[in-house]
A and B are shown apart, each in its own frame.
Chain A
Amino acid sequence: MKFKKNLLIGTLAALSLGVAHATTGSVTYFSGATSFQATTDAALLQYATNNGGNLVTWDNATFGKETNAIYTYVTGGVTNQIIVHWAGSENIIQALAAPSNNPVKFNYYGTNAPAGLVSVTNATNSQSPQAALYDNAQGTSFFNGNSAGDGRTYGSIQNDTPVAVEGYVWIANTNWPVAATTNATVTAGVSTNVITYGNITSAQVRELFSAGAVPLAYITGNAGDTTNAVFAFGRNIDGGTRTVWFNETGLGVQTPVVQYQLVVTNGLNKLNLYPIETIDGISSGTLGNSGYSSDGTLRGLFTNALASGPGIDLSGSFVGYAGNNYFIGYSSTHNATGSAGVKFLTYNGVVPSSANVENGTYSGWAFARVGESATASTTASHGVATSVESIIQSFTDAQLGAGNAKISNLQVNRDSDGGNIYPIY
């Protein structure tokens, strides 16, 4: 898969050499949540190529993992640009809804950025997004009205439109000791095996992330695991993944949690309570309440095994367990699928799959949404937003990626992130 993506990048790079990059047409500043990046990138690319344009600038060798990009499209013989910046969902909602007299801006590439694979350091064009994709609703966001406490009164995102269902999953690290179970699932006639390694319930999530660590026996039910430990890992408040899961599990978006940070020192895996930091203008307030800045960064840690017993170096007042140490975190399902070292858990006894999202049995999902800025959108950006909406809505389950689902395939619905799921058949 990665080879194909890199091949695509190479092809696009070759094509882009002959493309006049500078443009006299319109410019749309678009932003997207990293947890749904691969799908959104595919939609942007489809829109560009369907309209005589292409991907011309990006900053990661793997398509779908860049931080910034520029797409072009042609209307009436004029080349237009879509300049894209990827960020956390909460940061995107913040930027879309911020007042014009106190805006929130991202660093985009400039309209004259060079074509091809370039450095992220070229992104110095400070702009507010005009349209964006985000994966939690503004109603569950920190940035709604003046409740963020950052001095801004946030307005409503315009033309907020659900475009797909994004699935999320609980994951454990590489040496997680629970045996694998192969679960055959069928989505839209396509059979897929989802391999899981035990289960976690919403009540266990609440306890684990309230305490920061619990005996492994509390998760597995095995008496022999009482001397082994499980630590909580997670995202900072910028993450839509965090917002969705804390809603879904009843932990509470506003509830301070205890999450750990992995630090490798002299070959020894050390755990710190995640330091207090200010993200999107909001202080995490307490040790352990912040976390990693993206699903990808968090997921990348799960290839690590922790030293056992006294070999683990713990900060804070937590007293280590005598046995082995493991950790659990969360991610979007599609992003975590196929990642080395990441072990999926079932949630409340249900396998994370597109089919189980659609039939209502798996509740770890939320709508990915496209919306527009109340203050910065233009006719051109509105056109881009509605086109991207239509393209993503037309994608099949397979195109949307593992664990995600096409809205029209849903046999259920929910009115808010983490809200009750009810049948619509």
Chain B
Amino acid sequence: MKIPFNPWIASVMLIALLIVGGSFVLTWNEAVLGTKKEVGKSSSESLTADQHGVVSQNDGVKHEGVISKNSRSFCDLVNVVIPSSAGKSVSGNSEGAVLFSRGVPEATPKAPSNTTGSNSSTVVQAVNTGLPSLAIIPPQHVAPGVFVANIPAAFGDQSSMGDLSESQKEKISQIANDFTTAVQSSQAAPDSPEYKQAWDTAAYRADEAFRGQFGIPAFNAMQMARVYHP
């Protein structure tokens, strides 16, 4: 895969790296293609134990709790931002953190200027489950580690839908891929309003597609399954 050099992105990456002060794992996330090739590994601290975090669903309610390293909720299906202890990045799996967008290692999303707190977070992804995996960073616009992004139902735990045929699983993967492609094609920086807008638009369409294909009961089940309850 050819990686175009973008000075602006490179600058953001460099600044972010300096802010965090930690080293990053540089891993190609090719989960969409069904493979994951790790090209580097230097996470300061892998998630070997359950991790505390706060998740805000699109209902505006913050769900605070523990993200299990063995979780089957959306947290192990997607890249999520987990507040790390000072200067430490964390990983959602023992294989090391995963952090990518458009084939380029991404900088840690910065908190917007109107938020408080240090931006000591990074992006992690759990082990490759074989289920749709989100290869991009959810936007965070409230505070570091607080997600206001709607994670599309296509990234939820499919076990909540009962037995699925291979073609149904493929359809879910297709919806997930379309979402990822749409966000990536925005070419926006992960901490920008444009990125958030691209995310929200793509998530809206992904959920419409999921609801249309699998019906309201399945959509609701997937939404419930991805809400983490401590």
Give residues in A with beta carbon < 8 Å to B: 139-140, 142, 144-149, 206, 246-247, 250-255, 282, 285, 415-420
Contacts and interface: CB of A to CB of B under 8 A. Distances in A.
B166 interface: yes
A255 B214 CA distance: 6
Given A140-B213, A206-B215, A255-B214, A149 B208 contact: no
19 contacts: A142-B167, A147-B167, A147-B168, A147-B170, A147-B171, A149-B165, A206-B216, A251-B216, A252-B211, A252-B215, A252-B216, A253-B213, A254-B168, A254-B171, A282-B167, A416-B205, A416-B209, A416-B212, A418-B208
Interface of B: 165-168, 170-171, 174, 205, 208-209, 211-219
Given A140-B209, A416-B208, A419-B208, A255 B171 contact: no
A255 B215 contact: yes
Contacts of B166: 149
Interface centre among B170, B174, B212, B217, by most A CB within 10 Å? B212
B211 A250 contact: yes
B170 A139 contact: no
Contacts of A418: 208, 211-212
A267 to B, nearest CB: 38
- The 7 A-B pairs of least Cβ separation, nearest first, read A252-B215, A149-B167, A250-B216, A247-B212, A147-B170, A147-B171, A418-B212
B214 A254 contact: yes
Contact of B174 (A147, A285, A416): A147
Given A144-B174, A206-B217, A252-B213, 12 more contacts: A145-B174, A246-B212, A246-B215, A252-B211, A252-B217, A254-B168, A255-B215, A255-B218, A282-B167, A416-B208, A418-B208, A419-B212
Nearest to B168: A254
Contacts of A285: 165
B215 A417 contact: no
B153 to A, nearest CB: 12
A309 to B, nearest CB: 32
Nearest to B171: A147
Contacts of B217: 206, 250, 252
A148 B215 contact: no
B15 to A, nearest CB: 37
Contacts of A140: 209, 212-213
A149 B212 CA distance: 19
Nearest to B177: A145
Contacts of A142: 167
A108 B201 CA distance: 42
Contacts of B170: 145-147, 149
Nearest to A248: B212
Contacts of B216: 206, 250-252
A11 to B, nearest CB: 44
B212 A417 contact: yes
Nearest to A140: B212
B222 to A, nearest CB: 12
A419 B201 CA distance: 13
A420 B211 CA distance: 11
A140 B213 CA distance: 7
Contacts of A253: 212-214
Nearest to B169: A147
A139 B171 CA distance: 10
Contacts of A246: 212, 215
Contacts of A148: 167
A417 B211 CA distance: 11
Interface centre among A146, A147, A253, A255, by most B CB within 10 Å? A147
A415 B214 CA distance: 18
Contact of A420 (B165, B174, B208, B218): B208
